[in-house]
Amino acid sequence: MERIDPGLAREGKVKIDFAETRMPVLRYLTDRYKLIKPIQGKRIAACLHITKETAMLMKALSAAGAEISLSGSNPLSTQDDIAAALTNFYGIGVWGWRGQTAEEYFSCIESVLGNPPHITMDDGADLTVHIHNKYTDLIEGISGGTEETTTGIQRLTALADAGKLTYPIIAVNNAETKWDFDNVYGTGQSVLDGIMRATNILIAGTNFVVAGYGHCGRGIAMRARGLGAHVIVTEVNPVNALKAVLDGFDVMPMLKAAKIGDVFVTATGCKDVITAKHMKRMKDGAILANAGHFNVEVSVGDLERLGVRKREVRPNNVKYELEDGRRIFLLGEGRLVNLVAADGHPPEVMDMSFANQFLSVLHLIKRGKRMEPKVHPIPREQDEFIARIKLSMMGKRIDRLSGEQERYIRSYESTI
């Protein structure tokens, strides 16, 4: 099963060294904790997209004393050169390669669990749910876990609601310094990057349909508009739909958008957002991409059934020819287009997400065993701490409330 190619290690290290120059908060945390090693000897089982930014988190945790085993969190998102560099240069146990089958993907998660963890670190909840379903004997030794993405939080909250979550999870995704930056600016930029690398189309002038106007959808819509697209939003949540209208976007049901869209991107965390009934209405040449965690937002099965011929026209871009001659292009097999067809989120934004991961691990090592087995928000002070370091590393200063101002905003007295 060993698929790490040591020949790629040097190339991967060059990319990690580059990421290091753009991730000052993680550098700061590494320097602060490398001497005191607060997690010395603690074993972390991680299931994350294997990118240069993740490598920086692994390096920081390892410098703080952790022993890490890492698997990829999507069969198509692993960057093989980074996996090789992590193994060869940093002594991290890595199981993952690009282009895995579902079976190989889960067997890599099982290999990670071969080193019984004190902490789990997940992106999408596959590792945590796998432990709860199949490796319950490991639970006793686990102090807690972290979760990186919206879909993972959704799944683990469902597990907790069913009374089956057995250890505390810190919802890293829901930190303000994560959700409002990584999902918005990170996904916004990298999804457009992925679409452009897979197609090289001109975005300007397209009817660009974004399904879901949450954090990711808002970022994607913003960046598509910046490139000159006419953006159409589809939603199921009336409040978020209203936000899209007031942000100046066109809002309509997918069935209507299907007829006019040139490019479609799903970012909902839901399933069957684009199915056969939409595909049957689409224009010749329509392009479909997904940014949500799982490859269930665009029904790839429906496209396979409707297509009479299919052919890869560029890397990560497959043309499906329908019976009536129309052509629909599917990017990245309907998996996260920004990680499959581009490099994933930029390091500057992952700096904050992974600083949250790092500090959450320290919190769990100290307090996890005393925390309730539920999904916990990150402490407010952690968000503010990360934002302050990020700002100062960017050379930005802000005002502070005076004592008088503090008292004023906490007072119920009228000042008329």
Residues that bind ligand NAD (CB under 6 A): 149-151, 183, 187, 211-217, 234-237, 240, 267-270, 273, 291-293, 336, 338-339
Min dist. Cβ of residue 48 to ligand NAD (A):
12
Q: How far apart are the first and last CA of the chain?
A: 73
- Decide whether 63 or 303 has the Cβ nearer to ligand NAD: 303
Which one, 227 or 270, has the nearer CB to ligand NAD? 270
Contact 243, 213 (CB under 8 A): yes
- DSSP tag of 166: -
Q: Directed axis angle between helix 380-393 and helix 347-367, to 10°? A: 140
Between the CA of residue 213 and those of 232, 252, 333, what are the distances in Å? 10, 12, 22
Q: How far is the CB of 262 from ligand NAD (least distance, A)?
A: 19
Nearer to ligand NAD, 199 or 234 (CB): 234
Question: Exposure string (b/e) for 222-257, b if CB count within 10 Å is 16 or more?
Answer: bbbbebebbbbbbbeeeebbebbeeeebbbbebeeb
Residue 212 C-beta: closest distance to ligand NAD, Å: 3
The residue with its CB nearest to ligand NAD is 214
Residue 171 beta carbon to ligand NAD: minimum distance, rounded to whole angstroms:
12
Give least dist CB 288 to ligand NAD, A. Answer: 14
In the chain, the largest separation of any two C-alpha atoms, in whole Å, equals: 73
Question: Judged by CB, which is closer to ligand NAD: 95, or 264?
Answer: 264
44: helix, strand or coil = strand
Q: At what angle do helices 24-33 and 347-367 cross, to 10 degrees?
A: 30
Residue 25 or 265: the one with the smaller Cβ distance to ligand NAD is 265
Q: Which is nearer to ligand NAD, 87 or 353 (CB)?
A: 353
Write out the E strands in 123-252: 144-147, 169-171, 207-211, 230-234, 250-251
Query: What are phi and psi for residue 88, nearest 5 degrees?
Result: -75, -40
Choice between 100 and 234, CB closer to ligand NAD: 234
Alpha helices by DSSP H, listed for 3-51, are 9-21, 24-33
Distance of closest approach, residue 53 Cβ to ligand NAD, in angstroms? 11
Question: In whole angstroms, how close is the CB of 248 to ligand NAD at the nearest point?
Answer: 17
88/353 with CB nearer ligand NAD = 353
**CA gap 305, 171 in Å, rounded:** 38
Nearest distance from residue 273's CB to ligand NAD, in Å?
A: 5
